[in-house]
Amino acid sequence: MPNRNNNDIKLSCRNVWKIYGGSPTKYFDKKKLFINSDTLNVVKKLRDDGAIPAAVDVSFDVHEGEIFVIMGLSGSGKSTMVRCLSRLVEPSHGEILLGGEDLLKKSKSELIDIRRHKMGMVFQSFGLLPHLTVAENISFPLRLQGLSNKEKREKTSRVIELVGLEGRENSFPRQLSGGQQQRIGIARSLAVEPELWFLDEPFSALDPLIRRQMQDEFLRIQSSLKKSIVFITHDFLEALRIADRMMIMRDGMVVQIGTPAELIANPVDDYVAEFTRDVPLMRVLFAKDVMDDNIEVEENMQGVQSCDSVEDILAQLSKNTKGVVVFDDGKAIGVVTPKSVVCALSRNAEKVTTELPPNEVV
Amino acid sequence: MSLEIDNEVISKQYKPFISSILWFSILALTLVFIALRGKAPWLIDFPEEWVLPIVLVLNSFMDRIVEFSGEFFRGMSAALEIPMSAIRSLLSWLPWSVSFFILVSISFAASGWKLAVFTAVGVSYILGVGLWIETMNSLALVAVSVPLAVLIGFLIGTAGFLYPRAERAINLTLDALQTIPAFAYLLPILLLFGFGVVVGLIAGVLYAFPPMVRNTLLGLRRVPEEVIESGLMSGATEMQLFFKVRVPSAARQILLGVNQATLAAFSMVVIASIIGGSSDIGWEVLSEMRKARFGESLVAGIVIALMAMIMDRITAGFANRKPADDNFADKPFLIRHNYLLITVLGAVIIYIVSLMYPALQSWPKAFVFDLSGPLNDAIDYVIIEYANWIVLIKKWAFFYLMLPIKMGLEQVISPYSWGFQFTMPLKLAYGATALILVILAWLRGRQSSSVMIGLLTIILFFGLTRMPWPAILLVMTFLSWQLSGPKLALTVLAGLAYLLLSGIWPEALLSVYLCGIGVALSFAIGCSLGILASEFNAISRFLRPINDTLQTIPLFVLLIPFVMIFKIGEFTALLAIMAYAIVPATRYSEHGLRNVSHEAIEAAECMGCTRWQLLMRVKIPMALPEMMLGLNQTIMFGISMLVIAALVGTSGLGQMVYIGLGDGDFGVGMSAGVGMAVIAIIADRMTTAWSKKYEENIGGKIN
A235 phi/psi in degrees, rounded to 5: -100, 110
Q: Both A225 and A305 in a single domain? A: no
Q: Both A203 and A351 in a single domain? A: no
For B341-360, what is the mean pLDDT? 87
Q: Is B237's CB within 8 Å of A115's CB?
A: no
pLDDT of residue A35: 61
Q: Both A15 and A112 in a single domain? A: yes
Structural domain contains residue A129: no
Helix axes B132-162, B164-179, angle to 10 degrees: 150
Task: Among A241, A261, A276, give the residue marking a domain's end.
Answer: A276
Please tell me if residue B325 touches chain A, with a CB cutoff of 8 Å.
no
Structural domain contains residue A169: no
Q: Does residue A233 surpass a pLDDT of 80?
A: yes
CATH number of the domain bearing residue A325: 3.90.1280.20
Structural domain contains residue A179: no
C-alpha to C-alpha distance for A19 and A139, rounded to whole angstroms: 35
pLDDT of residue B10: 53
Type of residue found at A308? D
pLDDT single digits (tens) B515-524: 999 999 999 9
pLDDT single digits (tens) A113-166: 999 999 999 999 888 888 888 998 999 999 888 888 888 889 999 999 988 888
Q: Both A207 and A351 in a single domain? A: no
pLDDT single digits (tens) B246-280: 999 998 889 989 998 998 888 888 877 776 666 78
Q: Is B329's CB within 8 Å of A170's CB?
A: yes
Per residue in B255-290, is it b (16+ CB within 10 Å) or e — as a string?
bbbbbbbbbbbbbbbbbbbbbbbeebbbbbbbbbbe
pLDDT of residue B702: 41
Task: Among A211, A244, A276, give the residue marking a domain's end.
Answer: A276
Residues in a beta bridge with A331:
A328
A 140-159 → B contacts, CB under 8 A:
140-141, 143-145
Q: Both A338 and A207 in a single domain? A: no
CA distance A145 to chain B (A): 8
C-alpha to C-alpha distance for B307 and A28, rounded to whole angstroms: 64
Q: Does residue B12 surpass a pLDDT of 80?
A: no
CATH number of the domain bearing residue A15: 3.40.50.300
pLDDT single digits (tens) B118-156: 999 999 999 999 889 889 988 998 999 999 999 999 999
Contacts 24+ apart (CB under 8 A), A268-271: A270/A355, A270/A356, A270/A359, A270/A360
pLDDT single digits (tens) B638-671: 888 888 888 787 888 888 888 887 787 888 888 8
Contact B585, B530 (CB under 8 A): yes
For A51-61, what is the mean pLDDT? 89
Q: pLDDT-derived band of residue B334, with 50, 70 and 90 as boundaries? A: low
Q: Is A115's CB within 8 Å of B229's CB?
A: no
Of all residues in chain B, what percent carry a pLDDT higher than 70? 94
C-alpha to C-alpha distance for B537 and B196, rounded to whole angstroms: 49
Check residue B568 and report its DSSP letter: S
Residues in a beta bridge with A97:
A12, A102
- Other Cβ atoms within 10 Å of A315 Cβ, number: 9
CA distance A344 to chain B (A): 43
pLDDT single digits (tens) B662-679: 787 888 888 888 898 899
Q: Both A202 and A114 in a single domain? A: yes
Please tell me if residue A9 touches chain B, with a CB cutoff of 8 Å.
no
pLDDT of residue B242: 92
Chains A & B: contacts with CB separation below 8 Å:
80
pLDDT of residue B518: 93
For B459-484, what is the mean pLDDT? 90
C-alpha to C-alpha distance for A231 and A81, rounded to whole angstroms: 11
The closest alpha carbon to A121, from A246, A227, A10, belongs to A227
CB nearest A115 (choices: B224, B232, B326): B232
Domain of A37 in residue numbering reads as 6-118+194-276
pLDDT of residue B1: 40
DSSP string computed for B104-129? HHHHHHHH-HHHHHHHHHHHHHHHHT
Identify which has the larger pLDDT, B307 or A317: B307
C-alpha to C-alpha distance for A288 and A329, rounded to whole angstroms: 12
Structural domain contains residue A131: no
Structural domain contains residue A334: yes
Please tell me if residue B328 touches chain A, with a CB cutoff of 8 Å.
yes
Please tell me if residue B245 touches chain A, with a CB cutoff of 8 Å.
yes
What does pLDDT average to over chain B? Answer: 85
DSSP string computed for A118-168? TEEEE-TT----TTS-HHHHHTHHHHHTT--HHHHHHHHHHHHHHHT-TT-
H/E stretch holding B315 reads: helix B294-320
For B354-379, what is the mean pLDDT? 83
Q: Both A292 and A250 in a single domain? A: no
Q: Does residue A332 surpass a pLDDT of 60?
A: yes
Q: Does residue B17 surpass a pLDDT of 80?
A: no
pLDDT single digits (tens) A95-105: 899 988 899 88
Q: Does residue B188 surpass a pLDDT of 90?
A: no
Residues in a beta bridge with A120:
A197
Q: Is A120's CB within 8 Å of B233's CB?
A: yes
Q: pLDDT-derived band of residue B176, with 50, 70 and 90 as boundaries? A: confident
Please determine, for the modelled complex, whether the ipTM score is greater than 0.85.
no
Structural domain contains residue A128: no
Residues in a beta bridge with A233:
A71
Least confident of A165-174, B35-44, B468-477, B500-509: B35-44
Task: Among A276, A295, A312, give the residue marking a domain's end.
Answer: A276
- Taken in order of first residue, the domains within chain B and their CATH numbers are 94-128+330-373 (no CATH), 146-321 (1.10.3720.10), 507-703 (1.10.3720.10)
For B682-692, what is the mean pLDDT? 87
Q: Does residue B6 surpass a pLDDT of 60?
A: no
Q: Both A322 and A295 in a single domain? A: yes
C-alpha to C-alpha distance for B163 and B171, rounded to whole angstroms: 13
pLDDT of residue B520: 94
pLDDT of residue B657: 85
Q: Both A229 and A351 in a single domain? A: no
Q: Does residue A348 surpass a pLDDT of 70?
A: no
DSSP string computed for B493-512? HHHHHHHHHTT-HHHHHHHH
pLDDT of residue B517: 93
- Closest CA in chain A for residue B234: A141
Q: pLDDT-derived band of residue B498, with 50, 70 and 90 as boundaries? A: very high
Q: Does residue B50 surpass a pLDDT of 50?
A: yes
pLDDT of residue A2: 44
C-alpha to C-alpha distance for B405 and A349, rounded to whole angstroms: 81
How many domains in chain A?
2
Q: Both A214 and A325 in a single domain? A: no
pLDDT of residue B158: 93
Q: Does residue B530 surpass a pLDDT of 90?
A: yes
- Other Cβ atoms within 10 Å of B4 Cβ, number: 8
C-alpha to C-alpha distance for A285 and A269, rounded to whole angstroms: 20
Q: Both A61 and A112 in a single domain? A: yes
For residue A124, which residues of chain B lie inside 8 Å, CB to CB? 226
Q: Both A81 and A217 in a single domain? A: yes
Structural domain contains residue A266: yes
Of all residues in chain A, what percent carry a pLDDT higher than 70? 90
Please tell me if residue A125 touches chain B, with a CB cutoff of 8 Å.
yes
Structural domain contains residue A25: yes
Q: pLDDT-derived band of residue A354, with 50, 70 and 90 as boundaries? A: very low
